[in-house]
Structure 1
Amino acid sequence: MKVLQRFSARPAMDGDGVNIKRITDFEQLRFDPYLMIDEIKSDDEQDFIGGFPQHPHRGVETFTYIRKGGFEHRDQMGNVKPIRAGDVQWMSTGRGVVHSEMPLADAKEGLHGFQIWLNMPAKDKMRPPIYQDSLNQHKPQLSNEHGATLFALAGAWGFNHNPLAINAAIEGLAGNGAIADLTLTAHGHGTLNLERFETVCVYIYQGELHYVDSQGLRETAATGQFVVLDSLEVCHFQAEDTGAGMLILTGNPINESIVQMGPFVMNTQAEIDQAVRDYQQGLFGQIE
């Protein structure tokens, strides 16, 4: 496994005072088609109780995955959905979505979840929005004999040397995106061949990931770090005493320059200005 770049999540605040850890790159696009990874992880409700009141999006895809606790999602399309532990949700916002994400009243044990943003190609940024979630659907997972368990969140996945493959409930992400949650027990390991993708990234949310760098030196990526891998190298994931948990994000670059302002991701400043005007004029719709 060859690590090309490594980043560390930074503390941030969003919504109504929600404390998060964030990885973002809207300028150099070093993990295109992915733009941002937010992690919420706290057992103190004051870190997330304010939630994310009504706000818009245009030109971006949001992918939400909950591991603990939950949110209630509402949008102008009429969707009212509780997103709980193990659930995923995808919105290809296109020309516009207005939604809110508020903590569920019955989720009393803290909150751990992620929201991932993907860019949309210019040709799709003004199409009608698309909403999907995994509620009431099979949650596909696959384990090997070495202590590795892979939970398919989006796209198709399988371990090397295992003829079985699993397909997530969510498909069709921009840039051929595919996302999985990989957990390793103490000294667990698993191998994935991801050479069909140009972009392969890993966010470690628990424990440590061990690898040998291009100089043959043993390195460690710790909790809260995000690494970009060489997709042409077979990816072997190895944990030590602490085990590990990580999100694996794969896809193909869209290779288009963007302009981002808050929840809007377009290709020109003029398109951003139009998005602001459209929202202010109520053209995105309202949550009933």
Structure 2
Amino acid sequence: MKVLQRFSALPAMDGDGVNINRVSDFKQLRFDPYLMIDEIKSDDEQDFIGGFPPHPHRGVETFTYIRKGGFEHRDQMGNVKAIRAGDVQWMSTGRGVVHSEMPLADAKEGLHGFQIWLNMPAKDKMRAPIYQDSCDKANPKIVNEHGATLHALAGSWGFNHNPDEITATIEKLAGNGAIADVSLAPDGHGIVNLERFHTVCVYLYQGELHYVDAQGLRESAGAGQLLVLDALELCHFQAESNGAGLLILAGNPINESIVQMGPFVMNTQAEIDQAVRDYQQGLFGQIE
């Protein structure tokens, strides 16, 4: 694989004092259609026990994936779901969602999960919200003979030149977004063909990968780093002796300028101001 840019996640805090690591770009949009990747990873409940009390969103898609532990999701649409290890949840928030995500009381072994934000096209930002999750249907996976396992979290995926071998429960993300979790055993490897996409990013959450950069130099990346790849090159993932775990984020740019303020992502400052007024006036609804 050929890496064009590399970014490191930075410590941040969100919700009610939840410690996270975050990679985001709301200005230059170098990950378009993706805007932000938050990772929560801790065995100390003090890092996440406060959770995310009720808060709004407009104009953005949120994609949550849990690898260990879990959250209870509630929203003003009436959805109440326990999102546990292996589950994903997608909200295309459109004109407005109010939701909360609080740690499950029976999840006692720490928490590891991600929330990924995608931009929405201007034409969709004020449509009705959409909610989906995979709680009732396990995400499909492929295991190859070289120690690589791919879990399809959104969209269609395949190893070794077959991009449509399996399809996740959740599809139709903004920008044709597709997301997968790839686990590599020690010295494991796999090839993924993603040339149908314009944007391909890899977030490494475990282990180490070696790669060739845009200048042809050999480099390595470790946990907490996001790599922007050349989508026209075959993505050949090769782990070292400790194995590796990574998320692949693929999609096509929306190519629209945005204005972001907290949980609102719109196209103009006037639209942001309207979102704030609508929320303050209770037009987003409330969780029952």
Gaps of 5+ in 2: none
Q: Distance in 1 between matches of 2:266 and 2:99?
A: 19
Aligned to 2:115: 115
Give yes or no for contact 2:86–2:138 (8 Å, CA) kept in 1.
Answer: no
Q: Which string of whole-angstrom CA distances, capped at 9 and with x for unpartnered residues, describes residues 160-208 of structure 1?
A: 1569711000001000000000010111110011000000000000001
After TM superposition, list the pairs within 5 Å mapping 1:177-192 onto structure 2: 177-192=177-192
After TM superposition, list the pairs within 5 Å mapping 1:108-257 onto structure 2: 108-161=108-161, 165-257=165-257
- Measure how far apart 1:218 and its partner are: 2.0
Q: Distance in 2 between matches of 1:22 and 1:164?
A: 30
- Measure how far apart 1:209 and its partner are: 1.1
Q: Extract structure 1 runs of 4+ deviating beyond 4 A.
A: 161-164
- Measure how far apart 1:256 and its partner are: 0.1
Q: Which amino acid aligns with 1:258?
A: I
Q: Distance in 2 between matches of 1:257 and 1:80?
A: 34
Aligned to 2:31: 31
After TM superposition, list the pairs within 5 Å mapping 1:49-128 onto structure 2: 49-128=49-128
Q: Secondary structure at the match of 1:123?
A: helix
Q: Distance in 2 between matches of 1:256 and 1:125?
A: 12
Q: Secondary structure at the match of 2:241?
A: coil
Q: Which amino acid aligns with 2:143?
A: S
Q: Residues 268 and 158 (structure 1 numbering): CA distance in 2 closer, same or farther, change over 3 Å?
A: same
Q: Which amino acid aligns with 2:279?
A: Y
Aligned pair count reads: 288
Q: Secondary structure at the match of 1:277?
A: helix
- Measure how far apart 1:31 and its partner are: 0.5
**More deviation, 223-232/161-170:** 161-170
**More deviation, 130-139/272-281:** 130-139
- Measure how far apart 1:216 and its partner are: 3.8
Q: Distance in 2 between matches of 1:45 and 1:58?
A: 29
Q: Which string of whole-angstrom CA distances, capped at 9 and with x for unpartnered residues, describes residues 40-86 of structure 1?
A: 00000000000000000000000000000000000000000000000
- Measure how far apart 1:242 and its partner are: 1.1
Q: Distance in 1 between matches of 2:214 and 2:36?
A: 27
Q: Distance in 2 between matches of 1:281 and 1:217?
A: 55
Q: Distance in 2 between matches of 1:27 and 1:57?
A: 19
Aligned to 1:280: 280
Q: Which string of whole-angstrom CA distances, capped at 9 and with x for unpartnered residues, describes residues 82-115 of structure 1?
A: 0000000000000000000000000000000000
Measured on the aligned residues, the alpha-carbon RMSD in Å equals 1.0
Aligned to 2:9: 9
Gaps of 5+ in 1: none
Q: Distance in 1 between matches of 2:11 and 2:164?
A: 39
TM-score (norm 1): 0.98
- Measure how far apart 1:212 and its partner are: 2.3
Aligned to 2:265: 265
**More deviation, 209-218/11-20:** 209-218
